[in-house]
Amino acid sequence: MKLLPLDRPEHFELVAGWLTRKENHQWLDFGNGRPIITPALLKIMAQRETHFMRIYTADRDDVPIGILGLNSVDRAFRSGTFWGASGEKSFRNRGYSTIASSKFLTLAFRELGLHTINTWAVDHNPSRRIIERLGFRLIGRQRQCHYIDGRPYDRLLFDLLASEHRELDEAQWRRPERSHQGAVYGERSAQPG
C-alpha cells in the first residue's frame, strides 16, 4: 500500500468522481453546503497549506482505491480535521481504509508537526469503527446538524493527540486477499471527518 500525493490530473478526475457519488458525499462536508467536489476544486485544495491529501493504493498494482485528507490544517495551533472516502468499492472490507488511515495519521503528525487531529462521523455511519480503531476518542456530539435526504442527523466528534497515536501493524489488520471482483461491500466511505 502506498500513500500518494494528489498532484496528477488523472488523480483529480478520479477522486472527484469518487466524491460525487451520493454514497460518499452524503457523509462529507466541504463547506457552504457544497455536495460536489470538482477536479478544479481538488487541485486548488491540494495546493493550499490548509489541506493535506493522499491517495491510497492497493498492494499488487498500485491502483488508487481511496482518498484521505486533512482540512483546516492550522500550523500555529498544530491541528487539522481528518476525513476520507473509499473510491473503489471492490476493495472494501479488507482493512485498506484502516491501515491507510493509520499510515496517513503518522505522516500528518510527523510531516506537518501537528499536535492534535480531530474528526467527526455522522451518527450511524459505519466508518465510526475505523475512527475508533485508530484511537480517536469521542469528545462530544453536535446535534441534528447534518442532513441526508432531508433528515437531520447528529455528528459524533472525536480527537486524537500525537502522543496517543500508534501506527497499526498492517499484517495484523489486513484481511486475506479476495478476488477483486468478488469482494463484499462493507466499510462505508466517509468522513472520518
Go through the domains of the chain in sequence order and give each one's CATH number: 3-173 (3.40.630.30)
pLDDT value for 181: 37
The cell numbers describing 99, all together, are 491501515
Beta bridge partners of 118: 81, 159
pLDDT value for 84: 94
State which amino acid sits at residue 88: E
Q: What is the pTM of this model?
A: 0.84
Give the count of beta carbons closer than 10 Å to the beta carbon of residue 189: 27
pLDDT value for 189: 40
Please state, in angstroms and rounded to a whole number, the distance separating the CA atoms of residues 2 and 47: 20
Q: Which of 105, 110, 6 is nearest to 48 (CA)?
A: 6
3-state secondary structure of 19: helix
The dihedrals phi and psi of 29, each to the nearest 5 degrees, come to -150, 105
pLDDT along the chain (193 residues), means of 10: 92 94 86 76 93 91 92 96 89 83 96 97 91 96 94 97 92 53 37 44
